[in-house]
Amino acid sequence: MAMTSELVAAINQISAERGIDKEEVFKALESAILSAVKKEKYGRAENEDDEEEKAGSNLVVEVNRETGEFKLFALKEVVKRVKNPEKEIALSEAELISPNVEVGDSIQIEMPSEDLGRIATQTAKQVLLQKIRESEKESVLSEFSDKIGQVFTALMQRMQKGTAVMEIGKAVAYMPPEEQIANEFYRVGERYKVLLKSIEDSDMIVSRSDPNFLIELFKLEVPEIESGIVEIKAVAREAGSRSKIAVVSHQEGIDPIGSCVGQRGMRIANVMNELGEEKIDIIEWDEDLEKFVANALSPAKVESVDISGDTATVVSPSDQLSLAIGRDGQNVRLACKLTGVKIDIVGAQGEDVDAVEEYAEDTQEEVVDKKEE
């Protein structure tokens, strides 16, 4: 009996502390104990389809809400002659339990079960633990659902099929392979900054490769971005390799690039330290698209930019050609993503730069446009 009243006390306490509905816990308990009783009594169902025919389908478990006492009942049909004693009861026997009973009625009969107490005790622990886990998951969701897009420091726990499993406070977060930086190795026990990208099916998904992670890192380092004096207008990122960000100042006398670089390069150094090998070009945004395209090809200098439709033809001095294109076309590819236009580079001496064409394809795809927030 001690166990049962203790159980009611435990359910009351958990319900109060975690805001779980008490009735929900009792019902979960009844159904879990019933499953355990059936399994113990009849073994596993060979064929789940024969649910009605299956032994034990007429059993019911009830838990007294006040005392915590468990009772096992069988629902039996009243018949003249019993063919199946599991599910039927003779009229003469039923009349002893309930005098006004008739053939065809169903009657609940308490079943003696010496195992019930033991089964109930084991099951109760599991059900309560599961309810606690569910409520923890829900509290994580309510705590983090309005923090999507923020950067957190996460503790690396383990790798699970390529996904990094991390902890942010008490909450578990997952970083799938496509959200990781390609050349990074995540060491167990180390701390990493991550972007809370989304919450999917109660799971927190975090990222280090997302362009918004870069934006948030700059916000942390550059007070002028946080306060809105300097704005990040666009980002083009090949995580782990190279990124370009376009910035603009909304206040006279504030140099947007200088603000991001910081004194002696400290601010940008802090961002790059967080990202490992990734190089970052900071570009001044310009509403004049031709100037913006010229800036975007930095560090290369260009002679002229001519825009027609969504294609910019850029003339580059011979000694700047390879710099403008970049290794494997990376510089021009990032400039395309940043500006949202296709860029064709031609040499000032008429050099043919066909190689650029293939890298400039699909430029519209990944333009991350930071509109006014």
> Phi/psi zone of residue 279: left (φ > 0), alpha (ψ -120 to 50 degrees), beta?
beta
CATH code, 127: 3.30.1480.10
Question: Same domain for 191 and 309?
Answer: no
Contacts of 349 (CB under 8 A, 6+ apart): 318
* pLDDT of 95 strictly over 70: yes
Question: pLDDT by residue (tens digit) across 58-92?
Answer: 888 888 787 777 888 888 888 888 888 888 888 88
Average pLDDT of 89-110?
A: 83
The residue to which tokens 């005392």 are assigned:
67
Domain enclosing residue 358, as ranges: 290-373
Question: Same domain for 128 and 239?
Answer: no
Whole-angstrom distance, CA of residue 99 vs CA of residue 331: 92
Higher pLDDT residue, 168 or 362? 168
- Between the ranges 37-41, 70-74, 146-150, 168-172, where is the mean pLDDT highest? 146-150
Question: Same domain for 130 and 224?
Answer: no
Give the 3-state secondary structure percentages of the chain, helix then strand then coil, rounded to 5.
40, 25, 30
Whole-angstrom distance, CA of residue 77 vs CA of residue 97: 13
Would you place residue 152 in the very low, low, confident or very high pLDDT band (cuts 50, 70, 90)? very high
Question: Same domain for 133 and 266?
Answer: no
C-alpha dist (Å) from residue 170 to 61, 64, 92: 36, 35, 61
Higher pLDDT residue, 116 or 155? 155
- Mean pLDDT is lowest, of 84-98, 156-170, 245-259, 314-328, for 84-98
- Residue ending a domain, choose from 206, 233, 251: 206
* pLDDT of 358 strictly over 60: no
Question: Same domain for 156 and 187?
Answer: yes
The residue to which tokens 């009861």 are assigned:
89
- Mean pLDDT is lowest, of 19-23, 192-196, 276-280, 329-333, for 19-23
- Residue ending a domain, choose from 224, 255, 285: 285
Question: Same domain for 357 and 294?
Answer: yes
Residue 134 has what pLDDT?
78
Question: Same domain for 171 and 243?
Answer: no
Whole-angstrom distance, CA of residue 214 vs CA of residue 151: 10
Tokens representing 323 are: 């710099």
Residue 353 has what pLDDT?
58
Average pLDDT of 174-199?
A: 95
Question: Same domain for 260 and 342?
Answer: no
CATH code, 189: 2.40.50.140
- To which H or E segment does residue 39 belong? helix 22-42
Would you place residue 168 in the very low, low, confident or very high pLDDT band (cuts 50, 70, 90)? very high
DSSP 187: P
Q: DSSP readout, 147-182?
A: -TT-EEEEEEEEEETTEEEEEETTEEEEE-GGGS-T
Mean pLDDT of the chain: 84
pTM for this prediction: 0.66
Dihedral sign (CA 155, 161, 163, 169): negative
| 26 CA to centre of own chain | 31
Tokens representing 226 are: 């946080």
- To which H or E segment does residue 212 belong? helix 211-221
- Between the ranges 3-12, 91-100, 314-323, where is the mean pLDDT highest? 314-323
How many structural domains are present in the chain? 4
CATH code, 221: 3.30.300.20
Question: Same domain for 255 and 361?
Answer: no
Question: Same domain for 245 and 344?
Answer: no
Please return the burial class of 309, using the count of CB atoms within 10 Å of its CB with bins 0-12, 13-18 and 19+: exposed
- Residue ending a domain, choose from 157, 185, 206: 206
Question: Same domain for 39 and 136?
Answer: yes
The residue to which tokens 């929900």 are assigned:
24
Question: Same domain for 174 and 193?
Answer: yes
Average pLDDT of 30-40?
A: 81
Contact 332, 362 (CB under 8 A): no
User: What residue type is 21 in one-letter code?
Assistant: D
- Mean pLDDT is lowest, of 176-180, 181-185, 194-198, 217-221, for 181-185
- To which H or E segment does residue 256 belong? helix 256-261
C-alpha dist (Å) from residue 307 to 197, 235, 318, 341: 36, 21, 21, 9
